[in-house]
Amino acid sequence: MADLIHSLDARYYIDPQVFEVEKAGLLAKTWQFGCHSSDLPDSGSYATFEIAGESLFAVRGKDEQIRVFYNVCQHRAHQLVSGKGKSGVVVCPYHAWTYELTGELRAGPNIKSVEGFDRSKICLTEVRCEEFLGFVFVNLDPHAKPMDEWFPNARQELEEWVPNWASLKPIEWVEIPENCNWKVSVENYSECYHCSLNHPTFANGVVKPETYDIQPQGMCLRHTTECQSLESMTYDIQSGMEHFDEYSSWFLWPMFSFQVYPGNVLNTYHWRAIDANQVVVWRGWYSVDGEESETVRKLAVQDRETTVEEDIHLVESVQKGLHSRGYRPGPLVLDPNCGVNSEHPVMHLQKWMREAIDG
């Protein structure tokens, strides 16, 4: 048994110091979801969010480009904006220093009285950002590789599975608090060894478990499966698009997943770690122009009442178990042929997790 691959030690999931290491390292060096481009409809639209304990904001410039900045004034560090809104310039509420949408300092009361004050030397601190199917991702590491290198082919594949992505807007964005470490929730998402026993609706009415597989694709874990036989499907999947009879998901390490339900229905998971023992999962569902869609709404409700609800109990029980003095990490079930009853994606995840924490 000693040479088998065992699950990670409990301390990785319960130790507050491990969480601090992740906040300073992992969260600040990976691509993290910030906001949806529909939050930034016009030039001057902005939206704030937090990543790795840092307040940031995205703003659409006069050139239509989206830029992301640390939400801090370069004068004496007051926060610049909060929530969402629209403004032709960014005005600090403390002493009214005013910045262009590109971050340059434009004006400040009485700054001309200061001899040698060079306005052009002052600029908000910009953060790397990328638009990925209309989702704005940011990376606090200025040297980070682009998303296409982290997640090879994911963008092209998603464009194929969701050809109408450019017209999609959120119709539902549900917050699901879970009392567990974010890694427990992400691992649970990344294997279907527990599906037939715990997710009868998903396993019998959405996907065909015997075709389910998950494989790494760079730092993405790609789920693929056929849908259930049409008469067993819980909803109408005839979208008229290619891939309508498949289910696929692209988990982008470490905390975001694009999921496409049969019928080309895009939905997302976004994990936000609160502390070592708490995570909030945002489930997003999208429709053309964000307009009411009976299919999407019903599917979102079905998913929330079955798969999501069923998973909450699993992950919260695991978190309690990880605090038990009686737990010795067991061997992962690694089937050489992979497939639905293999935990090989958990092995890949745990390797990435260990590297992020232990260096």
**75 binds ligand FES, rule: CB under 6 A:** yes
Q: How many Cα atoms are found within 13 Å in the side-chain-facing hemisphere of 128?
A: 14
| Rounded Cα gap, residues 124 and 69, in angstroms | 6
94 binds ligand FES (CB under 6 A): yes
Determine the interface stretch with ligand FES among 73-81, 111-119, 134-142, 290-298 (rule: CB under 6 A).
73-81
Query: Which residues sit at the interface with Fe ion, rule CB under 5 A?
Result: 311
117 touches ligand FES by CB under 6 A: no
Which CB, 108 or 345, lies closer to ligand FES? 108
Q: Is 117 left (phi over 0), alpha (psi -120 to 50) or beta?
A: beta
The string of DSSP codes covering 223-270 is: EEEEBPPGGG-SS----SSTTTTEEEEEEETTTEEEEEETTTEEEEEE
Q: Which is nearer to ligand FES, 75 or 155 (CB)?
A: 75
Pairing mode of beta strands 105-107, 98-99:
antiparallel
Q: Which entry of ligand FES, Fe ion, none binds 76, CB below 5 to 8 A by partner kind?
A: ligand FES
319 in Cβ contact with 277 (< 8 Å): yes
**Binding range to ligand FES, per CB under 6 A, among 94-102, 110-118, 271-279, 334-342:** 94-102
Q: Residue with the closest Cβ to Fe ion? A: 311
Beta bridge partners of 260: 248, 266
Element (H, E) at 309: helix 309-322
Residue 92 or 308: the one with the smaller Cβ distance to Fe ion is 308
Q: Is 69 in the site for ligand FES (CB under 6 A)?
A: no
Nearer to ligand FES, 48 or 181 (CB): 48
- Measured from the CB atom, is 291 or 309 closer to Fe ion? 309
Q: In angstroms, what is the minimal distance from the CB of 85 to ligand FES?
A: 17
Nearest to 172 by CA among 257, 36, 290: 290
Q: Examine residue 73 and tell whether it contacts ligand FES (CB under 6 A).
A: yes
Binding residue (CB under 6 A) for ligand FES from 11, 62, 76, 323: 76
What are residue 331's phi and psi, to 5 degrees?
Answer: -70, 145
CB of 102 to ligand FES, least distance (A): 18
Report residue 353 as tokens. Answer: 């997790």
Answer with the entry of ligand FES, Fe ion, none that 351 interacts with (C-beta below 5 to 8 A by kind). none
Q: What does 48-100 look like in DSSP terms, one character per residue?
A: EEEETTEEEEEEE-TTS-EEEEES--TTT------SEEE-SSEE-TTT--EE-
| 3-state SS assignment for residue 142 | coil
State the binding partner of 311 from ligand FES, Fe ion, none, CB within 5 to 8 A by kind: Fe ion
Q: Which stretch binds ligand FES (CB under 6 A): 12-20, 90-98, 139-147, 291-299?
A: 90-98
**Residues at the interface with ligand FES (CB under 6 A):** 73, 75-76, 78, 92, 94-95, 97
